Amino acid sequence: MNLIDQSFLYLLLMILSISYPLLNSFEQKIKFINYWKALFPSIIIMMMIFIPWDIWFTSVGVWSFNKNYIIGYFILNLPIEEWLFFIFIPFCCVFIHEVLNYYFPINIINLSSRFVRFFSIILFLISILFISKLYTFCVLIITAISVFVISFQNKIFINDLIRTYLVSLVPFLLVNGVLTGSFNSPVVIYNSQEIINIRLFNIPFEDFLYCFSMLSLTILPYEIFKKNYLYN
């Protein structure tokens, strides 16, 4: 007999994901709570891009949600857990960003703006090859745009963002591993016709780009808002 109804799996995963960053927002070194007023507007900006995308992809069948693992409440045809995903996961990633910047101010990653800009062009060209795969094509395009935009930021920002992304891949593998069925039946079910079907721990290749785009389009406005709040 299960101790917890399986319909709470996605919700419980989100609660567990945010619990440590949320509780440690009040510690006295980083004082992450002081940055919330910059963080939440940034999350809203990111959601203005990703929520319509999610609604669209759900409606056209690029992905769907396993009703066995959600509690059954929907907003605009998305499970409530999916809405929480777009709040809790960026919250966690920005917390990681601040922890890394505080404890490891010297960043060993040293990519130039020119290289990052060149990489964005490569992503765009690759996207053309997958125009028949809706998720692959769209995520390559938005990642190319994200990378191109951040290439115009200062070098410190670019490399700090990349470092945050690489470190965030550790919890990403755990969380998305559960969502995509690495350890159980999938919570999120992907249409195999709309992805290239290259997976790591059952996580589609496209999700790694999706994660980067979501992270970059949160941290970019976050850093702008944070500077305005700190110095004005």
Report the alpha-carbon distance of residue 143 to residue 127 in Å, rounded. 10
Radius of gyration of the chain, Cα coordinates, nearest whole angstrom: 18
With beta carbons less than 8 A apart as the criterion, state whether 189 and 178 touch. no
Residue 68, token pair as written in the block: 């066995």
Q: Calculate what percentage of the chain has a pLDDT beyond 70.
A: 97
In tens, the pLDDT along 187-221 reads: 999 999 999 999 998 999 999 999 999 999 999 99
At which residue do the structure tokens 């992304």 appear? 165
With beta carbons less than 8 A apart as the criterion, state whether 125 and 211 touch. no
DSSP element (H, E) containing 204: strand 203-204
pLDDT at 5: 79
Residue type, 17: S
In tens, the pLDDT along 143-193 reads: 999 999 999 999 999 999 999 999 999 999 999 999 998 777 899 999 999
In tens, the pLDDT along 27-83 reads: 989 999 999 999 999 999 999 999 999 999 999 999 999 999 999 999 999 999 999
pLDDT at 198: 94
With beta carbons less than 8 A apart as the criterion, state whether 194 and 62 touch. yes
